[in-house]
A and B are shown apart, each in its own frame.
Chain A
Amino acid sequence: MRNLYYMKMMREKYTLRGVISAVGIEENRIRAFNRRNEQYFSFRVLEEGYLGVHFQIGEMGDEEGYARARQNLVLKRPYPFTLETGRRSRDLTQRVLTDKQLLEIAKEALDHVRSRHPDFTLNGGFWQCVSDSGVENDRGLAYSDMDCTTEFRFSFKHRDSRELIDGRFSIGQRDFDAQKLYAMADNYLAGFGTEQKLPDEIIVQMQYYDLLGLLAGSLNAESMCLGTSLLSGRIGEKLFADHFSLAHDVSADECWNTPFFDGEGITRKGDRLSYIENGVVLRGYADKRIAAKYGVEHTGSALRTCSDIPNNGNVNLRIQRSDRTIRGLLNGRLSVVPIRYSGGGFNEKGDWVMPVQLAYLCDGENFLGRLPEFTLVSSMFDMFGKDFIGVGSDNPVFHDKSILVRMRTGKI
C-alpha cells in the first residue's frame, strides 16, 4: 500500500545501547575483567518511497545522523510503506550488579565449584548484559525495551582427559542465584566419573533451539512462495504431532535482551503469534516488503537491519509447553542429554544427523553418568511429528525449557 506520507520526508531512528561486563575465568583462576559500552544507531529517512539509512556505532546527534541517512537515498532503496505509530515501554530488569559485585560473585562461585570438583579444569566467565532498545519516528512512534541478564558459563575438562574440553554448561538468570549455579555444576561434574551404557530406547532431552533451525527457515514466507521450502504448498496441512504447537513469542518470560517490537515497529497482540497449531501449519512469516511482494499475511517479522531497509526473518520461536513435567513425560524412562555435540545438522531433505562427543544418561533431572560417543539420527518431520514427546512444564538440567524426542543412532 502506498503510504499517506509518500511525498513528505519522514524520519525514524532505531537505538541499541548495551553495557556488557564480563569476568573471564581461565584455567581455574580469574584472569580478566572486560567492560564494553555499545551504542548502535540506525537513522532512517523515508522520502518519495525510498529509504536512506545511516548506521552509526557510537554517539551521533540526530541532525548529523539524519543528514547522512538522507545522503544514502542515492542508493535508491525502495520502501513504499507507512511508518508505524504507538507508545510503549517495557523494563524487564530485576537486578543490576556492580562491577565489584560481578568480580566477587565470580570469585566465590569459582572457589566453590573448584573446591567440590578439584579434578576439573574450568574456563569460562560471568557476564552481565544491560540493554536498552528503542525506536522513535516522526509519526509519534516511541517504543523502548530494557533488560538486564546474567550468564555464568563454564567449560570443563577432566585432568585425565585427552580432549581439549569435555563439556560446557551455563545458566542464565535475571536475578543471579548462586545456589542454582552450584546445583547445576554438581550435576554436570559429579556425573562425569560414572560410565553408563546407551539405553535401547533413545529419548533425547535437550534445549530445543538448535533443533528449530531448519523449521524456522522453512516457515519463511518468501521461501514458501518460491517453492524452495520444505513447507511450500503445505499451509493448512497437519504435518506435525497433535500436541506440537509453535509460536513467535516475545513475552517477558521468553525474551532475553530481545525487544517486543520488530524492525518496522510492529508488535503482536500478547507479544505472540502462532505459526503451527496442533501440528497444522498456519502461516509463514513475512515483513511488510515480503507480504506486499507475494500477497501474503504480514506477521511483523522484520529484522532490525541497521544499515539497510528492513529484512524478513525476526522470529523468536517457542514450542508450546506440556502441562506435565519432564519426569512426568518420561514416565519412568531415562533420557539421553547431549552435552558436547557438533558437526552435523540437517540436510536439504530435512534429515538430521549429529555426532555426539559427550552425553549423559539422565532421569529427567539428575545425571546418572556419561555415555560413550554415538551419532543421533532423526528428521525435521519426525522430531516434531511421530517422535515428539513434549516440552516439559519445568526447567530441570538447563534452568531452561527442554524437549523430549525419540531418536535413532547412526554409524560411529
Chain B
Amino acid sequence: MFIFPKNLFTEVRIERNDYVNYYTANDEVESNNQSQTTGALIRVFDGDMWYSGTTNELGRIQEEIDSLASLAKRNSKIYDHPEIRNFGSHKAHIIKYEGEDDVRKITPCQREELVAHYLAVCVDKSVEEMKSYGGTFYSTHTVKEYYSSKGAAIRQDMQRCSVWVGAAFVVEGVTTWGGKNFQAMSFKQLQGREQEIREELDRYLDYARNAVDILPGNYTCVLSPAATALFTHESFGHKSESDYMLGDKTLREEWVLGKKVGSEKVSICDNGNMEHNGYTPYDDEGNVARETWLIRKGVLTGRLHDSESASALEEEVTGNSRADSYEAIPMVRMTNTYMAAGDDDPEEILQGVRDGIYVYDTLYGTGFSTFTMQPGLCYRIREGRICEPLRVNVITGSVFQTLFDIDAVGNDLEIFDTFYCGKNGQTIQVSAGGPTVRVRKLTFN
C-alpha cells in the first residue's frame, strides 16, 4: 500500500469522521449541521527523533512519507530500538458499526423528533423559574486505519451518539443550569429515557430553589457512582499514566509496584476492550487493548503504557497510546477506568454518616497530587439521611491520603460514558465508573 523507507520506522494513521450536531433552544433551532473530515498523520522515527506531518489529501501520504524520511537519519538497527520493539505488528479488521445501528443512518427527521419528544414530555413549561430550555443531539462515527513498517495493518471503527435535555432556572437573579446528558453506541439506546430526564430536571429545580452555601471545611462524604467515577479518574487514574515518570527517580520510587496506596477496599482497573466511551481495541501504536489492574485491594499493581514508557520502565505495553485526532501525536491515556464494586450496601453506607455531604454528581476535575472535583449537586447528610442541597464550588483531596480514607465501597458499580479527559492540549473520550463510596475526609469550599 505504501512504500516505507528502509532503515527507518514509519507509521501512517488515517481517520474518517462523520459528525452531526443538532441543538434547539426555546423552540428555535440553533444548530443543525453535518460534516465529514478525512486526514492522516505520518510519523517517521530514526531512533533519535520523531518527524511527523499531516495531510487531508490521502493521495499525498506517500509524498509526505518521503518528505519526512528525508529529514531523518537512516538507522540500520532501528527495529532493535527498545521503543520500536514495543510497537504492534498486528493485522486486524474490527468493523462493528456499519450495520443497522450505524449512527450515520440516523435521519435528520429522527434526531429532530427525538429531541422534540423529550422536550415535549419532560420539560414543564409552566415552571415559573424556568427561563430557558433546550435539547441537543450529537453523533460521531470514526473509522481508523493504522499501517506501519513493522507490518501492522489495522482497520477499526467507533461511534457514539448522545442527547442532552436541560433548562435554566432563575431564582433571585441566580441562574442554575441543569439537565440530563446521556450517550450510547446506538440510536435505540437513546430512547425511552423520559423518567431519567424528568427526575434530573426536578432535582435541579429543587437545587435552584433551596440550595444553601456550604460552610467551607473538611467533611466525611458519600460519593454517588457518578462522583466516584470522576474521583477514580482524577484521584488516581492520571497518576497511573506512566509517561510522567520516564526518567524521574523520585516518581519511580514514589509509585513502585507493590506499594500500598490505599484502603484494602479499593481496586481500580482500566480496560480499552469494554464497549464504552473509551473503547480502543487497538491503540494508536497498533497495540491491542488489555485489562490492566492499577490497584488491587489497595496495592499498586500496574500502570498504563505506550511503547516509549513501557520500554523506559521495562514493563509491558498496555494498549493505552491514544491521540485525540489524526492531527495529534499519541500519548499515554486512560480508556475505560473504574473502581471495582465492593460488598457494601449503598443505603448502609449513607446510614453510617451522622453529619456529612453526599456528592450526587460532578462537572469536572483535575488530577495532580492535590486532586480536585467541581460538583454539580451536593446534599447535606444528617443522621444517615440526605437533606438540603448545598452550593459547593470545589472539592479537594490528596492522592497520597484519600485512597486510604475510603472506608466503604458499594456493590452498585456503574460506568458513565459522557467523560472527556484533557491532557497536554488533547481532549479524548473516556469512560469512568465506580460504585457508591464513603470517604472519611475531603475538603469542601
B248 at the interface (CB under 8 A from A): yes
B53 at the interface (CB under 8 A from A): yes
Q: Mark A227-246, 1 if CB is under 8 A from B, else 0.
A: 11110100000000000000
Q: Determine whether the beta carbon of B176 is less than 8 Å from that of A348.
A: yes
A5 at the interface (CB under 8 A from B): no
Q: Mark A349-393, 1 if CB is under 8 A from B, else 0.
A: 101111101000000000000000101010000000000000000
Given A27-B246, A163-B368, is A308 in contact with B31 using a C-beta cutoff of 8 Å? yes
> B215 CB to closest chain A CB, in angstroms?
9
A34 at the interface (CB under 8 A from B): yes
Q: Determine whether the beta carbon of A39 is less than 8 Å from that of B216.
A: no
Q: How far is the CA of A36 from the CA of B328 in the complex (A)?
A: 10
User: Which of A34, A57, A164, A228 is close to B53, meaning CB atoms less than 8 Å apart?
Assistant: A34
A24 at the interface (CB under 8 A from B): yes
CB under 8 Å from chain B, chain A span 281-308: 306-308
> A92 CB to closest chain B CB, in angstroms?
24
Q: Determine whether the beta carbon of B248 is less than 8 Å from that of A353.
A: no
Q: Determine whether the beta carbon of B373 is less than 8 Å from that of A343.
A: yes
Nearest B residue (CB) for A60 = B56
A8 at the interface (CB under 8 A from B): no
User: Which of A53, A165, A229, A344 is close to B445, meaning CB atoms less than 8 Å apart?
Assistant: A344
Among the stretches B87-95, B340-348, B390-398, the one at the interface with A is: B390-398
A77 at the interface (CB under 8 A from B): yes
Q: Determine whether the beta carbon of B54 is less than 8 Å from that of A58.
A: no
Q: Determine whether the beta carbon of A347 is less than 8 Å from that of B391.
A: yes
B443 at the interface (CB under 8 A from A): yes
Q: Determine whether the beta carbon of B396 is less than 8 Å from that of A355.
A: yes
Q: Determine whether the beta carbon of A57 is less than 8 Å from that of B374.
A: no
A162 at the interface (CB under 8 A from B): yes
Instruction: Say whether chain B's binding surface is mostly helix, strand, loop, or mixed.
Output: strand
Q: Determine whether the beta carbon of A33 is less than 8 Å from that of B54.
A: no
Q: Which residues of A contact B246 (CB under 8 A)?
A: 26-27
Q: Determine whether the beta carbon of B445 is less than 8 Å from that of A348.
A: no
User: Which of A57, A72, A412 is close to B37, meaning CB atoms less than 8 Å apart?
Assistant: A57
Q: Determine whether the beta carbon of A32 is less than 8 Å from that of B173.
A: no
Q: Determine whether the beta carbon of B369 is less than 8 Å from that of A353.
A: no
A112 at the interface (CB under 8 A from B): no
Q: How far is the CA of A170 from the CA of B354 in the complex (A)?
A: 48
Q: How far is the CA of A53 from the CA of B52 in the complex (A)?
A: 32
Q: Determine whether the beta carbon of B444 is less than 8 Å from that of A32.
A: no
A55 at the interface (CB under 8 A from B): yes
Q: Determine whether the beta carbon of B372 is less than 8 Å from that of A343.
A: yes
> A337 CB to closest chain B CB, in angstroms?
18
Q: Determine whether the beta carbon of A34 is less than 8 Å from that of B52.
A: yes
Given A164-B239, A343-B373, A355-B372, is A411 in contact with B131 using a C-beta cutoff of 8 Å? no
Interface size on A, residues (CB 8 A): 60
Q: Which residues of A contact B369 (CB under 8 A)?
A: 162-164, 357
Q: Determine whether the beta carbon of B108 is less than 8 Å from that of A75.
A: yes
Q: Determine whether the beta carbon of A357 is less than 8 Å from that of B247.
A: no
Nearest B residue (CB) for A411 = B216
User: Which of A75, A161, A165, A377 is close to B250, meaning CB atoms less than 8 Å apart?
Assistant: A161
Please report the number of residue pairs spanning A and B whose Cβ atoms sit closer than 8 angstroms: 164
Q: Which residues of A contact B54 (CB under 8 A)?
A: 35-37
CB under 8 Å from chain B, chain A span 1-43: 24, 26-28, 30-37, 39
Q: Mark A271-283, 1 if CB is under 8 A from B, else 0.
A: 0000000000000
Q: Which residues of B contact A340 (CB under 8 A)?
A: 368
Q: How far is the CA of A131 from the CA of B126 in the complex (A)?
A: 50
Q: Determine whether the beta carbon of A307 is less than 8 Å from that of B132.
A: no
Q: Mark A59-78, 1 if CB is under 8 A from B, else 0.
A: 10000000000001001010
CB under 8 Å from chain B, chain A span 111-134: 121
Nearest A residue (CB) for B371 = A343
Q: Which residues of A contact B49 (CB under 8 A)?
A: 30-33
Q: How far is the CA of A355 from the CA of B234 in the complex (A)?
A: 15
Nearest B residue (CB) for A229 = B175
B115 at the interface (CB under 8 A from A): no
Q: How far is the CA of A367 from the CA of B150 in the complex (A)?
A: 50
B63 at the interface (CB under 8 A from A): no
A44 at the interface (CB under 8 A from B): no
Q: How far is the CA of A187 from the CA of B303 in the complex (A)?
A: 35
User: Which of B37, B50, B55 is close to A31, meaning CB atoms less than 8 Å apart?
Assistant: B50
Q: How far is the CA of A162 from the CA of B239 in the complex (A)?
A: 11
> B257 CB to closest chain A CB, in angstroms?
17
Q: Determine whether the beta carbon of A36 is less than 8 Å from that of B327.
A: yes
Q: Which residues of B contact A26 (CB under 8 A)?
A: 246
Q: Determine whether the beta carbon of B251 is less than 8 Å from that of A164.
A: yes
> A380 CB to closest chain B CB, in angstroms?
12
CB under 8 Å from chain A, chain B span 109-141: 131-132
Q: Which residues of B contact A33 (CB under 8 A)?
A: 49-52, 71
User: Which of A72, A163, A411 is close to B218, meaning CB atoms less than 8 Å apart?
Assistant: A411
Q: Which residues of A contact B57 (CB under 8 A)?
A: 58-59
A157 at the interface (CB under 8 A from B): yes
A159 at the interface (CB under 8 A from B): yes
Q: Determine whether the beta carbon of B38 is less than 8 Å from that of A357.
A: no
> B304 CB to closest chain A CB, in angstroms?
13
Q: Determine whether the beta carbon of B53 is less than 8 Å from that of A39.
A: no
A49 at the interface (CB under 8 A from B): no
> B127 CB to closest chain A CB, in angstroms?
14
Q: How far is the CA of A77 from the CA of B400 in the complex (A)?
A: 53
A342 at the interface (CB under 8 A from B): yes
5 nearest A-B residue pairs (beta carbon): A343-B372, A58-B56, A411-B216, A353-B393, A32-B50
Please list 16 pairs of residues, one from A and one from B, whose beta carbons are closer than 8 Å in the complex, sorted by A's number. A32-B50, A33-B50, A57-B37, A57-B39, A72-B33, A75-B108, A77-B32, A164-B369, A230-B175, A340-B368, A342-B368, A343-B394, A344-B445, A351-B393, A411-B216, A412-B443
B-contacting residues of A (Cβ < 8 Å)?
A: 24, 26-28, 30-37, 39, 53, 55, 57-59, 72, 75, 77, 121, 157, 159-165, 226-230, 232, 306-308, 311, 340, 342-345, 347-349, 351-355, 357, 373, 375, 377, 410-412
Identify 15 new A-B residue pairs, CB closer than 8 A, beyond the known A227-B170, A308-B31. Answer: A31-B49, A32-B51, A34-B52, A37-B53, A57-B37, A159-B250, A164-B238, A230-B175, A307-B19, A345-B374, A347-B393, A348-B175, A348-B177, A349-B391, A357-B369
